[in-house]
Amino acid sequence: MADPLPLDYHIHTAFSCDCEIPMADMCRAAVSRGIPEIGFAEHFDLLPEDPSYGFFRFDDWWEELERCRRSFRGSLVIRAGIEIGEPHRFPEIVAPMLARFPWDYSLGSLHWVDGTLIWDRAYYQRSEEQAYRDYFLELQRLAAAGGFDVLAHMDVVKHYGSQVYGPFDPGRYEPEIRAVLAACVHNGIAIEINTGLLRRPVAQVAPEQQILSWYRQAGGKYVTAGSDAHLPEHVGFGLELAVAAARAAGFPNLTRFIARRPSPLQHLAHQEPT
């Protein structure tokens, strides 16, 4: 019998510009898969050129979140998260926003490098070395600035990069990646193990196990897991591989967040919700 999935902390709903699914439908999907704890983390992007700019409606989202918490009480723990794009570029907006609401955690994401969206094939017109180094150098700046709780999908640039350049080898960028991880450790930032790329041609968790091992070696303590679901059938997708990667990298547990404070799950596979 397969181990139950402990949590899924990266789920989107119709409050994100790239998702059309009601929050309650995502909750039902989690319950149907036996996942005891989830977190919604909608896109909050502050670059005017980003497709998500100005889309997120805070008050409406919180009302719906509380409605779902009431509806699913006893069967599902629902945490309040948010995915902030490029938080290091907008500290004067991000810090007051995080202080205003009772978040459980915030994800920091890097989607733009040098004015180009990494989902845009134009980004990969540069050389392989430049594409990856530029990304990880900007990610260093993001992690060093801190102010958020979890670094999301930290090597997601391999999604298109692997299609353009071939398999991604983190060892070629070890100094840059280790600098990102050192900044995370210094600022108490957790690493998310994102399974969204398992649904893509690269077919890997993000980050891969080698990077998780470097984070552990650097003194990293906190890892979370998220499916990056934008459809009900993707809730919990591949999270057993995230758990396996965490174990293989030497982490004894995943981390839950409550009121922006990390705490370990007692066991990767068999933790009951609180």
Strand 255-258 and strand 223-226: pairing?
unpaired
Handedness of CA 182, 183, 187, 193 (dihedral sign): negative
pLDDT for 219 equals 98
Q: Which two tokens stand for residue 30?
A: 């989690």
Report whether the peptide linkage leading into residue 91 is cis, meaning its omega lies within 30 degrees of zero. no
- CA 256 to CA 264: how far, in whole Å? 6
Q: From the CB of residue 49, how many other CB atoms can be counted at a distance below 10 Å? A: 10
| CB 123 within 8 Å of CB 165 | no
Grade residue 2 by pLDDT with cuts at 50, 70 and 90: low
- Domains of the chain listed by start with CATH number: 8-264 (3.20.20.140)
Instruction: Give the model confidence (pLDDT) of 88-127 as tens digits.
Output: 999 999 999 999 999 999 999 999 999 999 999 999 999 9
Query: What's the Cα-to-Cα distance from 251 to each of 12, 108, 211, 221, rounded to whole Å?
Result: 26, 21, 13, 8
Instruction: Give the model confidence (pLDDT) of 171-200 as tens digits.
Output: 999 999 999 999 999 999 999 999 999 999
Q: Which two tokens stand for residue 240?
A: 């057993």
Measured in residues, the chain has a length of 274
* 212 phi, psi to nearest 5 deg: -60, -40
* 131 phi, psi to nearest 5 deg: -60, -45
pLDDT for 270 equals 41
pTM beyond 0.85, yes or no: yes
| CB 211 within 8 Å of CB 251 | no
Burial class of 260 by CB neighbour count within 10 A (0 to 12, 13 to 18, 19+): middle
Grade residue 266 by pLDDT with cuts at 50, 70 and 90: low
Alpha carbon 64 to chain centroid, angstroms: 21
Query: What's the Cα-to-Cα distance from 6 to each of 35, 113, 116, 267, 272, rounded to whole Å?
Result: 6, 33, 36, 9, 8
Closest by CA to 215, choosing from 244, 238, 248, is 248
Instruction: Give the model confidence (pLDDT) of 54-86 as tens digits.
Output: 999 999 999 999 999 999 999 999 999 999 999
Question: What mean pLDDT value characterizes the chain?
Answer: 95
